[in-house]
Structure 1
Amino acid sequence: MSDPYKVLGIEPSASPQEVKRAYRAKCLQHHPDLFPTFRRAAAERKFQEISQACSSLTKAHAGFTRKPSSRAYSAYKKASPVTNVTLAFVIAVPLALTGVWLATTSDKMKEQSWRKNGLMYPPVNPWLREDQLATQSDHFKRSKDGAASRPGSQE
């Protein structure tokens, strides 16, 4: 491979920003899509040569350190120990525990509960007609009546 500085047209004392600027200019000048089909092969070779020169120079500048105030340095800072999940947990758990405690200690909360009889026996709406009331399922009735009412049992 030839000298990468000659390929990009820069001096050996060029900064990484100058290397990037020269690379972009050469890419725009020698991109294969900008040439007619009969000259595209030569343009591809030149484009690959430019890309290799830039990659070799960026590897050479990989040890280049930046100022701590730059944006790139911020990626290396230690992440904050407080995340959104931690914050939500710290807020939600005490609220949930307070709500459970209030529901179990307050008589007024017990009176206003919408499931006074538990989950198995929901409350009955007194304004419904008899045919609209919830009925127990057939298998529950059969288990109360015993084996005599089971289908297939002989009486």
Structure 2
Amino acid sequence: MHGGEAKKLLGFPPNSHPTLSQVKAAYKQKAWETHPDRFPALQKSMAESNFKLISEAYSSLLVDQRYCSPAQASYVRVVRTGVPRGTGKSHPFLVKAPFLALMMATVSLGGAVAARTYLKQRKEFPSQHPFLP
């Protein structure tokens, strides 16, 4: 979204240079006016799209005016995208390793307990049936 369009959505003239506090105040006011929870069910989808536009305008104004870096503005875009854009590498194995270790321990200990119980029961109650062990 371009700066002029973002300023217009937040209620500023396109050639103005608002301060950070003015941008925040305008965003809060517009967000309050267009929040989807304030509208009936029939108008909720329209209010939701307006709210997303205002959130996008706010984040683009922050980046355009250099109030924050694009990495910081990605957290402002949580409303629009639903997920913040993290920085750095992800390590899926480090996430899966504890789960895999827990599963392996459970299976091995469960198998050992089942085998011990089977042998104990077989010793205490020998079977006379020729097809059973």
* Shorter-chain TM-score tier: 0.3 to 0.5
TM-score by length of 2: 0.45
TM-score by length of 1: 0.39
Give the helix-richer structure, 1 or 2.
2
